[in-house]
Structure 1
């Protein structure tokens, strides 16, 4: 299984929306529960955030590769899980 990193900002409404979508997808697809997502607030981990190539949050990286950046949709978040599981 591939590693997933999610960059967020605590105050970001789209980040909260993406987190809700993740919960909904895990309820819908039990296999998604096996995917560990490391969630990092860019304001708390500034040096780490600055080392990554992205402009908007939420941003998802799967095994170090950026796979989504910006406004989330359920389909885009689902694709993150599928990519992590090689589905």
Structure 2
């Protein structure tokens, strides 16, 4: 009977260890995702400063992005021999 109890205890310890490892991995993944997000936000912030976008109103900013998108569409739809 003592052997069975120790076997059950050993399984519970292994389960607890695996749960702890899983939790640790989840925390590491979340930290890595947060780090990547921070890098993207920093890059966007630098671009906004570079192009003066942080000083524009939301409406002006939206119009600016729409103009950029329209220009990109126009460029991509222009035949190569006309460029």
Instruction: Work out whether the TM-score is over 0.5.
Output: no
Task: With the length of structure 2 as denominator, give the TM-score of the two structures.
Answer: 0.29
Higher relative contact order (CA 8 A, sep 6+): 1
Task: With the length of structure 1 as denominator, give the TM-score of the two structures.
Answer: 0.28
User: Over alpha carbons, which structure has the higher Rg?
Assistant: 2
Structure that is richer in strand per residue: 1
